[in-house]
Structure 1
Amino acid sequence: MTPTQTLPFDPPAADDALARRTIATVTWRLMPLLGLMYLIAYIDRQNISYAKLQMVGDLGLSESVYGLGASLFFLGYFLCEVPANVILERVGARLWFARIMATWGLVTVLLGFTQNTAMFYALRFLLGVAEAGFFPGVLFVLTLWFPQAHRAAMIGWFMIASALANAVGAAVGGALLDLDGTLGLKGWQWVFLSTGLPALVLAVVVLRALPDGPEAAPWLDRAGRDWLADTLLRERDTGGKVEHGNPFAALLDRRVWMLASVYVAFPLAAYGLSYWLPTVVRSFGVSNTVNGFINIIPWVVTGFALWWVPRHAARTAEQTWHVVGPGLVAAAALALSVVVPGSALKFACLCVAAAGIFSAQPVFWSLPPTFLKGASAAAGIAAINSVGNLGGFIAQNAVPMIRDRSGSDLVPMMFLSICLMLGACMVFVVLAALRRDASRRVADASGTAPEGIRHA
């Protein structure tokens, strides 16, 4: 496995074989389960994009009402994200992830019995509350299992599950809609019921199979545990990382807010695209089932990009362009999807856009743990993700408003393109500032900084 950046210390050569064996063991034992959890979680987020195709008409919802209801997920998510991650750091991943999955599965099933607008709003908000802490929780958990050099690749593997989820959701969502009338249920009801039940089952699996940390993993031998503990300890004690006495103090860390401010553009573009892609494809004049299968294509392309981009970042030892580059390519593709002629070219642009939006994120998410540790890292990661995911809230309200006023499914893509371009360009400024800050803190910690410019 190729590291994504140089470690701040050089492990002895004698440890190389042990390191490779330990990382490989942890990867194959941990990542498939985390990926499966994220796949189910992402399907339960995205199922509404397919249910919408029938649900809006059956419940008498307008496009704007639907957009607000869909966006309330992100409001609940935003409010509960940081507390959820702080609790995870205290009670452990096994118990907390099982709780998250059980509650989001239950709320998803209940969405299948939505009767009116108020119930739709309440359940979407509760779904955000239930799932809060999962994605940033996994990012924090990865800091307990993998040295910094391996995290971008692991986050890439983890996020491939989101691409698979969109592909599976696309195929299954369209087919479930065509079950309309089976057993007296609407097609959109089948969408929620069939995607909520797997989360309830997986909650039980998590309780039995997920260790809270390396020291509790029965499949990791003593030598591997000792090497991992020593490596992670030396990383935490190197480079001026901060752990606040109160983890919520991480919310006042300017570096957290700098990263959150640029990250918001990526979820905005991602959710704006993925929630509305089925509607765009439907304008091609295809059936629900064909719509679903066509929507597999963008996520296959995205899965490949999620695998390739972190590894290319590793080989070149470069981070900035592996965040900015995919973001700018995606912004250009979104803009082109509005102006190019023909359905095939428009759809090809949306495929490229999806790949760029998602593949920039693994390298981005390898950054926050480099300046925070412990509970502060848990809170900081959650803060960045919760603020960033307000982009989803913005997208779910702005995109339908733009669509209603323009009468086009493609014009909203221009709005997403501009937001993504601005966010990607600001990454240059933020990462440069983070590097200067890291250099200063290392110098302060080593006592090499001039007396007049040392900082507390």
Structure 2
Amino acid sequence: MTRCHIANAATSTAAAEDRYQHVCKKISKRLIGFLFVCFVLSFLDRINIGFAGLTMMGDLGLTGTQFGLASTFFYIAYIACGIPSNIVLARIGARRWIGSLMIAWGLASTCTLFATDATSLYLLRMLVGVTEAGFLPGVLLYLTFWFPSAYRARANALFMIAMPFTAGFSSALSGLILGLDGIWGLKGWQWLFLLEGLPSVVMGCVVFSYLDDRPQQAKWLDSEEQALLHHALSADRASGSAAATQDARSVWRELASPRILLFCLVYFCLVNTLAMIAVWTPLIVKSFNSVSSNQSIGLLAAIPQVCTIILMIVWGLHSDRTRERRWHLVLPMLMAAIGWILTAVSSYPAMQLLGVCMAASGSYSAMSIFWTTPDQALSFNARAVGIAVINAVGNIGSAVNPLVIGWLKDLTLSFSSGFAYAATLMILGALLALRLPISTPEHQP
């Protein structure tokens, strides 16, 4: 081959790479921002009970165990409905299903203001769990229809920063809303569920007119862009399916394979910390200084989330640029474990807050990397159910954690034993992650 031919080939490859990057950025601008807002509302309706608990526990006469059990019931319903929800999404499309889910969970979350005792709270939180179950695994599946694996860590990170963003934003917002206590005869926590639940209903209506189920239906992509994306996704699917289907005679046998069980176990360990941050952060921060006002607690609880957003973006971008996944998953999990240990052993509020920052930043960054990997270990036919299975089994940690932490707090009158529990699971999860069947993302296009 002559130098001229080599130069022309290099120029052609560079031009194709530029077009590929342009298409991915165009999709990101169109979808990620919108899905980010949807996830903010979803996560807000999931975690606002943590701030409601600052006053709800006293108003309803709940113990720490009962309050934790409300979140446990939420996740029991969430786990039970996640798999069938993803199956429905794969059949009828994301636009109709996600829109319907948002309207349903918005109404269910709003109705939590009518809780009068532990039993009614359990039932209402289960209803929220049923309706919200399909959103996260559904969107994770949806993103595999639009983003090839080489681009997905940054896409996942930009989408999933909705979780720390919401936790930080709601920390300040919820503290202010609790100050509405007594207006129109409603308690502050009742205002919380009302004002943070109804926006999901409105956004659910918007989903019906905004989302496209597949790239082929997207009128905002021209034919060349659709062809380029189809080529990249097909190559992605072929490279992943070759490894995933070697010992899979059926979808269900594939889902019961040891590699999928390993993904479930790693996610279970990771989710315990995610659940602890989501539900207990306000009460953990309050334990550092019991005389702080709800507004001060809200502002302090926002600090770990700001740190998390920064690390998630930087870490996801670095993982895509280096095309490395395994250590980008393991290292932040170990960082989170160190954070919990620091929070447990220190008696200084500033050091304890630093520990929470490390735990939050590490666990959320690990999660955004984690969800770039399962689809490469699954055949295309098993992907919808497989992602839902991993999410459902892993989220048993979300059901177990609030109950365990609430019980440990009632038993020891401190969160320290809960911190040790979370740290142990993160170390175990990091060790298991070293054995995950993680492949290197193919260079695109």
One fold, TM greater than 0.5? yes
Aligned AA (1:397):
L
What SS class does the counterpart of residue 153 from structure 1 fall into? helix
Which runs of structure 2 are paired with 1:294-313 in the superposition (5 Å)?
A: 294-313=300-319
Aligned AA (2:228):
W
Q: Does 1:282 align with 2:286?
A: yes
* Corresponding residue to 2:344 among 338, 347, 368: 338
Unaligned runs of 5+ in 1: 1-10, 439-456
Whole-angstrom CA distance in 2 between matches of 1:338 and 1:15: 52
Contact 2:151/2:320 (<8 A) preserved:
no
Whole-angstrom CA distance in 2 between matches of 1:104 and 1:196: 8
Contact 1:39/1:165 (<8 A) preserved:
yes
Tell me which residue corresponds to 2:428: 422
Aligned AA (2:267):
Y
Contact 2:244/2:376 (<8 A) preserved:
no
Whole-angstrom CA distance in 1 between matches of 2:268 and 2:348: 31
Deviation (angstroms), 1:247: 4.9
Tell me which residue corresponds to 1:46: 47
Whole-angstrom CA distance in 1 between matches of 2:91 and 2:381: 8
Query: Higher mean Cα deviation, 309-318 or 298-307?
Result: 309-318
What do residues 100-151 of structure 1 show as CA deviations (whole Å, max 9, x unaligned)?
Answer: 1011101101101112222111111111111112111111111110111001
Q: Does 1:258 align with 2:262?
A: yes
Distance 1:229 1:245, change over 3 A: farther
Whole-angstrom CA distance in 2 between matches of 1:143 and 1:13: 25
Deviation (angstroms), 1:241: 5.2
Whole-angstrom CA distance in 1 between matches of 2:132 and 2:40: 13
Tell me which residue corresponds to 1:412: 418
Aligned length: 424
Whole-angstrom CA distance in 1 between matches of 2:409 and 2:62: 15
Structure 1 vs Structure 2 CA RMSD: 1.7
Distance 1:340 1:150, change over 3 A: same
What do residues 267-310 of structure 1 show as CA deviations (whole Å, max 9, x unaligned)?
Answer: 10111133111112223121111111111111000001110111
Aligned AA (2:304):
P
Deviation (angstroms), 1:195: 0.8
Tell me which residue corresponds to 2:71: 70
Distance 1:117 1:250, change over 3 A: farther
What SS class does the counterpart of residue 289 from structure 1 fall into? helix
Aligned AA (1:272):
M
Distance 1:231 1:314, change over 3 A: closer
TM score, norm. by length of structure 2:
0.92
What SS class does the counterpart of residue 430 from structure 1 fall into? coil
What SS class does the counterpart of residue 161 from structure 2 fall into? helix
Q: What is the identity percentage for the equivalent residue pairs of Structure 1 and Structure 2?
A: 35
Tell me which residue corresponds to 1:444: none
Contact 1:249/1:376 (<8 A) preserved:
no
Whole-angstrom CA distance in 2 between matches of 1:406 and 1:385: 31
Q: Does 1:351 align with 2:328?
A: no
Aligned AA (1:59):
L
Whole-angstrom CA distance in 2 between matches of 1:134 and 1:423: 25
Deviation (angstroms), 1:403: 0.6
Deviation (angstroms), 1:344: 1.2
Which runs of structure 2 are paired with 1:221-260 in the superposition (5 Å)?
A: 221-239=222-240, 240=242, 242=244, 247-260=251-264
Distance 1:348 1:50, change over 3 A: same
Which runs of structure 2 are paired with 1:25-104 in the superposition (5 Å)?
A: 25-104=26-105
Q: Does 1:322 align with 2:328?
A: yes
What SS class does the counterpart of residue 178 from structure 1 fall into? helix
Distance 1:193 1:248, change over 3 A: farther
Unaligned runs of 5+ in 2: 1-11, 441-445
TM score, norm. by length of structure 1:
0.89
Whole-angstrom CA distance in 2 between matches of 1:274 and 1:242: 34
What SS class does the counterpart of residue 237 from structure 1 fall into? helix
Contact 2:101/2:131 (<8 A) preserved:
yes
Deviation (angstroms), 1:253: 3.1
